[in-house]
Structure 1
Amino acid sequence: MSGNTKTLADPVSVLDSLGDEYSARILSALTDEEMSAKRISEELGIPIATVYRRIEDLDEAGLIEFEGKALTQDDKRVKVYRSYVDELRIQFEPDEPQVEMKRYSEAQRSIDEAWKRIKR
Structure 2
Amino acid sequence: MSHPDTTPTESAGILSALGSKYSAEILCAAGTPKSAQALSDDIEIPIATCYRRIEELVDAGLLSCEGRQLSEEGRRTNIYRRTLDELEVDFADTRPRFSRKRRTEAKNQLQDQLED
The verdict on a shared fold, with TM-score over 0.5 as the criterion, is yes
Note the alpha carbon deviations across 1:26-66, whole angstroms, 9 max, x for none: 011002x1111111112211111111110011001110100
**Does the residue aligned with 1:26 lie in a helix, a strand or coil?**
helix
Deviation (angstroms), 1:19: 1.0
Letter in 2 for 1:28: C
Kindly tell me: are residues 106 and 48 of structure 1, through their superposed partners in 2, closer, same or farther at Cα, counting changes over 3 Å? Answer: closer
* Cα distance in structure 2, aligned partners of 1:86 and 1:97: 19
Question: In structure 2, what is the Cα distance between the partners aligned to 1:52 and 1:72?
Answer: 16
RMSD: 2.1
TM-score relative to the length of structure 1: 0.81
The unaligned stretches of length 5 or more in structure 1 are: none
Structure 2 residue matching 1:81: 3-state secondary structure:
strand
Note if 1:40 corresponds to 2:39: yes
State the SS of the aligned residue for 1:69: strand
Query: After the TM superposition, which of the residue ranges 20-29 and 93-102 deviates more from structure 2?
Result: 93-102
Mapping 1:47-66, distance limit 5 Å: 47-66=46-65
User: What is the alpha-carbon distance in structure 2 between the residues aligned to residue 82 and residue 6 of structure 1?
Assistant: 21
How far apart are residue 13 of structure 1 and its match? Answer: 1.2
Moved more, 66-75 or 101-110: 101-110
Cα distance in 1 between the residues matched to 2:2 and 2:33: 22
Match of 1:85 in 2: 84
Q: Give the letter for the 2:17 counterpart.
A: S
Identity %: 37
Q: What is the distance in 1 between the residues matched to 2:84 and 2:2?
A: 11
Match in the other structure for 2:25? 25
Gaps of 5+ in 2: none
Which one-letter code corresponds to 1:56 in the other structure?
E
Aligned position for 1:94: 93
Q: Please say which of residues 65-74 and 6-15 is displaced more in the overlay.
A: 6-15
Paired AA for residue 100 in structure 1: S
Alignment check: 8 A CA contact 2:69 2:79 kept: yes
